Amino acid sequence: MEKSLISRILEMDPAARNRVNVILNYPGLHAMFFYRINHFLWNCHLKILARFLSQFARFLTGIEIHPGATIGKRFFIDHGMGVVIGETTIIGNDCTLYQGVTLGGVGTGEHKVKRHPTLQNNVMISSGARIIGDVTIGDNSIVGASSVVLKDVPPNCTVVGVPGRIVKENGIRVDKEL
């Protein structure tokens, strides 16, 4: 198990009472355990096995992570049921996703292009949010619950709504279109 991820979960989630509780009862941790194995298999060109095992992990955890995705350190999925992370997604360090988040792609017919989002470091995506296409969410940004983001978000911003609008930038309240 990822010791640093367990420590991060204990820091961030007041319901996480101790390491044993986290190891036994956190599907986001289980999903990341499977993802690390599946990502290794994917990079070893054992793609069918990696995809099969990723679907098995989805069955067990309710979290779908494509083994081709690139995920940084201490990535925390809290209450992960319904989370979907696409193949060309890139996730930086110390990011957090809540239940029902989709990091989805735009169907192009050409599978060799980047078609899923990039989350830079320390990004939080709230419950039910949808980040669609090859967009970048900047460092230290927050996407509010049920928001839909189709365009890049600068660093240090809070985005809410459908379509997403910037409501806070560098700690100052604003109202900007993306």
pLDDT digits (tens, 9 = 90+) for 9-67: 999 888 999 999 999 999 999 999 999 999 999 999 999 999 999 999 999 999 999 99
pLDDT digits (tens, 9 = 90+) for 70-95: 999 999 999 989 999 999 999 999 99
The whole-number pLDDT of residue 108 equals 67
The whole-number pLDDT of residue 46 equals 98
The whole-number pLDDT of residue 122 equals 97
Kindly report the three-state secondary structure assignment for every residue of 87-123. Answer: CCCEECCCCEECCCCEEECCCCCCCCCCCCCEECCCC
Give me the DSSP letters along 22-84. Answer: HHHH-HHHHHHHHHHHHHHHHHTT-HHHHHHHHHHHHHHHS-EE-TT-EE-TT-EESS-TT-E
Question: Residue 124 is inside which H or E element, if any?
Answer: strand 124-125
Rounded CA-CA distance 48/169 in Å is: 43
The whole-number pLDDT of residue 58 equals 97
Whether 101 has a pLDDT exceeding 80, the answer reads yes
Task: Classify strands 165-169 and 157-160 as parallel, antiparallel or unpaired.
Answer: antiparallel
pLDDT band for position 178 (cuts 50, 70, 90): confident
pLDDT digits (tens, 9 = 90+) for 103-157: 998 876 666 789 999 999 999 999 999 999 999 999 999 999 999 999 999 999 9
Contact call for residues 166 and 174 (beta carbons, < 8 A): yes
Find all residues with CB under 8 Å of 90, minimum gap 6, and list them.
Answer: 69, 70, 116, 117, 118, 119
Q: Which two tokens stand for residue 21?
A: 């509780």
At 110, which CATH number?
Answer: 2.160.10.10
Residue 128: which domain range?
5-177
The whole-number pLDDT of residue 113 equals 86
Q: How many domains does the chain have?
A: 1
Rounded CA-CA distance 1/8 in Å is: 13
Residue 70 has a CB neighbour count (10 Å cut-off) of 12
The whole-number pLDDT of residue 107 equals 76
The whole-number pLDDT of residue 67 equals 98
Rounded CA-CA distance 74/83 in Å is: 17
Whether 169 has a pLDDT exceeding 60, the answer reads yes
* DSSP one-letter code for 138: P
pTM of the model: 0.92
